[in-house]
Amino acid sequence: MAVTIRDVAKASGVHISTVSRTFSAPHLVNPETRTRVLATAEELGYRPNRAARALITGRTHNIGLIVADIANPFFPPMIKAAETHARRRDYHVFVADTDEDPVVETDLVRALAKQVDGILLCSPRMSDDQIELMRREVPLVVVNRLIDGLPAVVMDVGAGARSAVRHLVGLGHRHLVYLSGPRGSWTNREIRRAAGVAARAGGADLTVLGPHQPVSSAGADATEAVLATGATAVLAYNDLMAIGLLQSLQDRGVAVPEQISVVGFDDIATSALVRPTLTTVANPTAAAGRAAVDMLLQQGDDGATGQVTLRTDLVIRNSTGPGPYAPAGATAAQVAAYAKE
């Protein structure tokens, strides 16, 4: 005979409702009681019936996580962190990829809406109005996009862009290029805006090239356009584009950073493996995944909404070096130290 919730409650010395909460809302149960109930359930071989529980509670204990491109190394740390964090709350995560297509994105939200308790929409390409419309069908938390009135987790890419530009200006660069990312990207707009402000404040010119797809081939394809500007430093929308550009420059015999400096965004694992290692802005993607899960579940518990902004950090490596306006007589190490300030 199958073990029932009543058997677990009796063996644990608690009420049936406590056992139910242990599996449906573990954060609401006293840790000592929760541990005892879970240990008893494991000993007895009890497994809650998710389908039956969904009928009773109206919750599936499933979360949808939709990303713009699962092949982009930016997303896996976020996905893994969200899945691990959700599992601790007894939730499962369904992952879907839009391939940077807003139409596919809309279709996926509608397809998942009846199968999950809410959706984490990561780096969406839909318009603000379309996202507002989708929110009427299913609870949403938006990651990497700010929309008034919608719960969101964002990384402070504006601050990251300012740090990157100040670093380049401090190294003596006055003609910069921003390799723009995809059209419709909130992150791209924020980086472009902040980089422009920081460049003007530092007495530098910023040329914007793009938009581009956020892939390494786009960075490589932009090489001739970059060189044609005469710029001595480049900030790319993401590390993939920066790495594609860096490798293409080397293929053409252009020395990095001696002739041109390159900065990426995201701090993916590959950025520390290429040669020269890539200076980049580190985005806290894993922390964003955890924060988004918390925000979605809190939204389901009490209807709360909010917006969380996570800090970004400039990681200085070997792809940036002194520019034409570096302090006279200063060594590369001295200029780099100044540019960190």
Over 80: is that where the pLDDT of 300 sits?
Answer: no
Kindly report which listed range (33-42, 65-74, 267-276) carries the lowest average pLDDT score: 33-42
Over 60: is that where the pLDDT of 127 sits?
Answer: yes
Kindly report which listed range (11-20, 42-51, 272-281) carries the lowest average pLDDT score: 42-51
What is the distance between the alpha carbons of residues 95 and 66, in angstroms, rounded to a whole number? 6
249 and 223 in contact (C-beta within 8 Å)?
yes
Over 60: is that where the pLDDT of 31 sits?
Answer: yes
What is the distance between the alpha carbons of residues 272 and 284, in angstroms, rounded to a whole number? 16
pLDDT band at 3 (very low <50, low <70, confident <90, very high): confident
The two structure tokens encoding residue 121: 């929409």
168 and 195 in contact (C-beta within 8 Å)?
no
**Of 51-60, 291-300, 318-327, 328-337, which has the strongest mean pLDDT?**
318-327
Give me the helices (H) in 214-331, please.
Answer: 216-221, 223-229, 239-251, 285-302
pLDDT at 55: 42
Over 90: is that where the pLDDT of 4 sits?
Answer: no
Kindly report which listed range (110-124, 180-194, 219-233, 326-340) carries the lowest average pLDDT score: 326-340
Over 80: is that where the pLDDT of 59 sits?
Answer: no
Average pLDDT over the chain reads: 90
Taking the model in full, what pTM does it have? 0.81
pLDDT (average), residues 103-120: 94
